[in-house]
Every structure is written in structure tokens, then in C-alpha cells.
Chains A and B, each alone.
Chain A
Amino acid sequence: MVAALKTSFRKKFPKPQYIYDEHGKKIGKLAKRTKRLNRSTGGTVVLFIFMGLLAVFMGFPLFLTVSNALKPLDELFLFPPQIVVRNPTLSNFSDLFVSMQATWVPFSRYAVNTLIITLGGTLGHLMFASSAAYALAKVELPGRKMMFSMVVLSLMFAAVVTSIPNFIIISSLGLIDTYWAIILPAFSAPLGLYLMKQFMEQIPDSLVESARIDGASEYRIYWSIVMPNVKPAWLTLIILQFQGLWATTGGIFIRSEELKPLSFAMGQIAGGGIARAGESAAVMFLMMIIPVTFFIIAQSQMIETLTTSGMKD
């Protein structure tokens, strides 16, 4: 009885045969496969339904933002709230435009401020972080381990605690009330370096070595070989940094009204209370639509087939 069970069990699950390397170490297993392990079409359908449900759920606030921005004032105050707008109107935007005209500082000034801070901070951070990551990942440097642990350590400390010393340093550099107070610290944000370094580690060393032997300078290797190979990484970095800087209000570092960024001005309008409810919905829409557009453009630049290791081994 037991023996019969045993044979039928063995028939179903044959004893695995192992593959050994020259030192007698197990390196793999040979076994007859009993079923295909590829995902079935049904599984794919279930996955997509799951993703679709989550996407609808996550897309709800976005939808609500768009629909709120188009609602006339009386619909905004309806109770219980309506999800879909009934009489779409652009009056919220025209009201917002009127408010914009009435600001003490011309509104375009806020936009220019944000543009300078966002572009400057994003591009600078990209250059600084990626070149430092290149050196940490691909150049033999004494002390690079220590420098890398400094980066991780500085990630860990809450910005709040360091805000007094940070303020003292920035003011002693004479940067208070300049764009640099926001841009310069953004250059050295530790997360970007960490991200870029992990991606660059995955590029084969032999690729970099062969370029070196062919006489390419370090700059050339960094710019023409490593950077194109980690394009998805720096596109991600740009998205994250853009989003962070776009949201900045200048805080305690930028005091003069004419240097404040757009996010601050928009926050002031949105905070105007119930009377400004329509404009506030329009503000929300505008503040979202730009990072959203940026995200979609950057994402569509990521095409995986372009990435190739360029190795023949």
C-alpha cells in the first residue's frame, strides 16, 4: 500500500537530478516539468482588471479636480457633492485670471520665478548628481565607500531639525532672498545621487574599461557611454526633482514678494476662503496639470528597446 503510494508519488514528482560543477557544488536542478509556468491569457486579463480597478480608484481625485474646476459656483456648493459636472463653465478660470491681474506683483513674475527655480534646480541637480554618481560607481577612487555612506546618512535626518543651522548657513552665504537659497541645496539632494549610482552600477565594467583602453576621457565615457545607458534613471530623476521644486513656496528663504514662486501665489488665492471657492478649484487644476503633462512627456521618452548593453559576451 505504502509502496504503491510511493511509486505513484514519485511518478507525479520525479526525484530531481542535480547538476554539479567541477568542485562538486550543486549549481542547478534537472527535473521534468509537469506543467507550463507561463502566465495564461486568463491571468493577464485578471491582472489588467485589477490594475484597471486601482487606476479608476486612484484616478478619482484627478477626475474630481477637473470636474470641480469646471463647475459653476452653485454646483460647487451642492450638498451632497456631485461627482460629475452638470453645466460645465470656464468662469472659474476667468475669475482666476481677474484675481491674477489684481495682484500687487504682476502674475507673470511669479511664473518666471518658478521657471527659474524649477529649471535651474532640476538641471543643476541632474548634472551634479549624475557626475558624482558616475565617479562613485565607475571610477576607482580611494574613499568612495565613505563618501557614499555620507550620502545615505544625510538622507536620514529630518529637515526640520536642521532648519536652524540650514538657515544660518544660507544667510551667512548671503543667499537669503535670492533664487540660490532654493536652487543650491537642491543641487546636492542626496536621493538623486543614490538613485543614479544604483543604476550606473548595472552597466558592465568591461564596457567602461574598453572605452578607457580606446583612449576616451572620463568626461567622454560619462557623457557618451554611461549617461545614454541610464536614460530611464535620469528621466525619473528629472520627474522627481521637477515635482519637488514646482511645489516649493520659498518658505523662510525667499521673503520679497517679487521673488516668490507661483506655488506661493496660487496658495494665497486658494486660501481666500469660501468666496474664492471657484478660483480655488481652478488653481488646483492648474497646479496639477503642469506636473502631470511633464510626467507624461518624460515617460513617453522612455523606450526600453533603445537600451542595449552593447556587449557581445
Chain B
Amino acid sequence: MLVRYFASLREQLGCDSEQINSSATTVEQLISELSQRGELWQQLLADNSRLQIAVNQAIARRNSPLQPEDEVAFFPPVTGG
């Protein structure tokens, strides 16, 4: 699974993308797995009510299903234009 982070999340987590072996079948499960890395991850992913999610480059939700080869992205609310 490819996990990508953008903007303030990328900076705060110090990671722009990573290939991980995850058995998560929903975004929520993936977030729980990643949040076990420490308080910062917990705070920025699991406890972040403004967290935006994309699966395979389409907007997704915490209950969206995941496949092992999916590309998942986490980012803050968008601010373009």
C-alpha cells in the first residue's frame, strides 16, 4: 500500500510517502495502525477531525474500503484558487 502525506501533514510527520505492508481493509483501520507510531501520528490522523482522505486519488472517508495495492493520501483541507 502506498501512503502519501501532503502540505502541513507532510511537514509535521516528516514523511511525504511510504510503501507499507498493511492488512487494513478500511481507511479507519489504516489510521489506527499508523496512529500506533506515537502521539504525533495519533493526534494528526486518528484524532484529527479535519483530516482529508483520498483513496486512489479520489476523495474517501474513514469507512472507505481498502485493497492491498491502493494509494491512500492524507491531507489538510484544501486551500487553492
A and B bind: no
- CB within 8 Å of B: which residues of A? none
